Structure formats: structure tokens, C-alpha cells
Structure 1
Amino acid sequence: MTEKRTRAAVDKPVSHQFDRHGNRIWTQVRQLLEHEHARLRIGQVSVPYGICVEPTNVKADGHGCPFRFRCVGCDHFRTDPSYLPELRAYLDTLRRNRERLAAATELDDWARTESTPSEEEIKRIRTLIRRVETDLEGLTDDEREQIKEATRTLRKTRTFSLGMPGIRAPGPNLRLERDA
């Protein structure tokens, strides 16, 4: 994937980037200068369903969110049409988890409450998906095709997992015990 092609792919969806409320971030399409591309890459980090511009999290390469990775509820979160498949999958997962936890009998009430996705989060994801889809529907066929091509290119460049940061499983205890 060439740098020129990647930059062209970044320029297309950037004008269709939304915050957590579904408000468009960039009100005008503009070509970014070379130094602006570098600044954008340095000042953001990929997170599930979009990007984060929160300085602490950016500095920690996406593993230092001070808000417990509640991206959709944070003003530092941005998303664009290239993340729609992940947003839809996340919405489906939230709804499935909500139903599964409602049916679980082996949990205390406090544990169920803490684990159950909130109705507000589900509503926020639905609204965000709807807003991005509505924006795409308002484009001409040619513009929609350009966004689709840019999305395909961007998705190819995402070769790493955008999953939530996890805790590495502890390795085996290799210390040999001796009898005295």
C-alpha cells in the first residue's frame, strides 16, 4: 500500500468524521498538507470503533485511557464510515450481552448491574450508526463509491487488532520446588 494511496484514502472519510454525538467534526472537505498528515497520525490512536485524541491515551499508544475505554461516551472519540462494520457488530454484541445477563441466575444484583450494557450506550451506538449511514445516503453515487474505495483501503491498512486492551495470561510457574 503506497503512502500516496493511503493519504488519499484518509482524506475521503475525514470529511465524514463524527464525534460521539453524531455531529460532524470537519464541516468542510479540505486537503491536508503533508505536515498536517503527520500531526494527525501523532495526535491520535486507533481504538475500537474509531480513533481517540485524548493525550494520555495517545501517549500510551491506546492503552492508557483515563475513562476505562468508554469511547462512545467520550469527547475525545471520533469515528467515520470505515468503522461501520465494527460499530454494527458492537451494537449486536451489546444487545446479546444485555439479554444474556438479564437471563443469568448465577449473578448477584450488583454484578448484573455492573456488567449489563446501559440503555444509553446502546442508544448512543444506534444513533451514531444511523447518523453515519444518513450522511452516506446524502452523497451522490460517485461520492459514495469514493468513500467505499477509501474505506476498503483504510481497512486493509488496519493490520492489527482494534480490540479492547487485555491482560496477558500469566505464564507457567517454572520455579522448581525443592524438598529440604
Structure 2
Amino acid sequence: MLLSDEFDEQGSKLPFDRTLIFPYAFRHAYAQRHADAGVPVDVLKELMDHRSIVTTMSYYQVPLKRQREAITTIRKHTTDRSGRPAPFTSTTGYEAQSVAVPFGNCREPSNVKACAIRFQCAGCGFYHPDPSYLPAIEEHVNDLRADRETAKAMDADDFVVRNLADQITAFTNVADTMRDRLGNLPQDEREEIEEASAVPRKVRATRDHKLLPLTVIRKETLDAC
């Protein structure tokens, strides 16, 4: 039996009102789960087959109050580039001293537009990720592994392959250390952190919409039009 979150006089959960279940609810839940996971808004637009991206954007609206509540939770679980705990002492400190970069927070705002080491974040002392970046870090590790294999196939110089391998090791260490630390927390605390992490991922997904990738149209496609 499907139960609701409501209770009867004896404290038992009441049956879920099945009249609230309709096809659109599944579609909405599908879209919201992707938005909460930080799927870029242009990608979700295609998945949902929306005509206008404005429709898709509605799934990414996050009130400022909810953002600050999320930061209050995840700021305590920020780490340094080696995965060691480096929590922010306050929500204001998190907001003032960190600027979002692809795989974490950067404590040096001037690096964002002109990074001296080309965003090799895992090797930088200013790099301070938090649990909300775990999916992005793990995806980046997979991309780096693919790049390493491509470099080998191209007979690239050893320093190219070595650099990619070192980045893989560094980012993997950050992700594994963070996962292990979260895994040792009580379940209710882990759930709280994951729920809080979904909020900044949604915000970043909306922000990244302003920098959508260019679409390359091949000559054959134009000829076929």
C-alpha cells in the first residue's frame, strides 16, 4: 500500500490519496529530479521537449532564503584540495570568500577570469570543494580518463599523460575522501547534506545557461535543409 506523510489518530500513516496521482505528476517529478541534480537547463529542455527554455527554467527557481539555508549546511563540509576538512566559519564567509568554479569553490576571486594555472583546481591552494560538487568532480574524473587514453593514442609526450594522470589522482582523492566522510555520518545528516547540496547545483545549472555551448552545424546538415 502506498502511504502518505500524514498520520491518523493512532499515529499510523494514512493511505496516499490516489486521486493525486496523474501522468503529469510523473513528468514533473522527472524534470525536478534532473533540475535538483544540476542538469544544465539546455539539456533538460531537450529531454523534456519544451518549446521554450522559459518553461524549463521554472524547475530551477530557488528562493534566496533556501539558498542561504543550504549554504548553512554544506559550508561545514567544505574541504581543501587534499580532502582535509576546511569548513567556513559562517554562511557569510562562504558567500564572501568563495567563487564557484567548475569543480568547487575558489577562495581567490581574481583567479576566476584569469586563472594562472588554467583551472587545474585540484593542484591549487585556493581550491575548496564541498559535497554539492561531488557529481561534477566525478564526471570530470571520467572526462580526464578519456582524455588520458586519447593522449596515449595520439602518442602524446609523457608530460601530457603524466599531467592528466596526476589530475585524476588528485580529484579522485578529493571525491573519495569526501564520500568516505559523508558515509560515516548518521543517515539523517547525510540526507540533510544531500538535500542541501541539490540547491546550489540547481543555481549553478541556471547560471551556466548564460554560457551555453555553441552548436556546430556541419556543411552536410546545411545542404540537407
Among residues 113, 138, 154, which one is paired with 2:200 in the alignment?
Answer: 154
Identity of aligned residues (%): 32
Query: 1:143 matched to which residue of 2?
Result: 189
Instruction: Return the offset for 1:21.
Output: 0.7
Q: Does 1:17 align with 2:17?
A: no
Q: Which has the larger radius of gyration?
A: 2
Amino acid at match of 1:68: R
SS of the aligned residue for 1:22 comes to: coil
Among residues 60, 65, 68, which one is paired with 2:115 in the alignment?
Answer: 65
Among residues 124, 128, 139, which one is paired with 2:174 in the alignment?
Answer: 128
Q: How does 1:91-130 map to 2 (within 5 A)?
A: 91-104=141-154, 109-110=156-157, 113-114=159-160, 117-130=163-176
Bigger share in helix: 2
TM-score of the aligned structures, taking structure 2 as reference length? 0.60
Q: Report the count of equivalent residues.
A: 152
Amino acid at match of 2:120: R
Kept in 1, the 8 Å contact 2:67–2:199? The answer is yes
Amino acid at match of 2:202: K
Kept in 1, the 8 Å contact 2:120–2:167? The answer is no
Amino acid at match of 1:45: V
Q: How much is the aligned-residue C-alpha RMSD, in angstroms? A: 2.8
Instruction: Return the offset for 1:13.
Output: 1.0
Q: Distance in 2 between matches of 1:89 and 1:3?
A: 28
SS of the aligned residue for 2:100 comes to: strand
Instruction: Return the offset for 1:41.
Output: 2.6
Q: How does 1:4-83 map to 2 (within 5 A)?
A: 4-26=65-87, 32=90, 37=92, 39-57=93-111, 62-83=112-133
Structure 1: 5+ residue runs without aligned partners?
169-180
Q: Distance in 2 between matches of 1:67 and 1:144?
A: 34
Deviations 1:20-62 (A, max 9, x none): 0111002xx86x3xxx62x5434321111101112422xxxx2
Kept in 1, the 8 Å contact 2:152–2:161? The answer is no
Q: Distance in 1 between matches of 2:207 and 2:81?
A: 23
Q: Distance in 1 between matches of 2:146 and 2:80?
A: 25
Deviations 1:39-95 (A, max 9, x none): 5434321111101112422xxxx2111222211100100101111111111111111
SS of the aligned residue for 1:99 comes to: helix
Amino acid at match of 2:177: R
Deviations 1:108-153 (A, max 9, x none): x54x744764322111111111101011101111101101110111
Q: Distance in 1 between matches of 2:94 and 2:171?
A: 25
Structure 2: 5+ residue runs without aligned partners?
1-61, 215-225
If asked which structure has higher relative contact order (CA below 8 Å, sep 6+), I would say: 1
TM-score of the aligned structures, taking structure 1 as reference length? 0.74
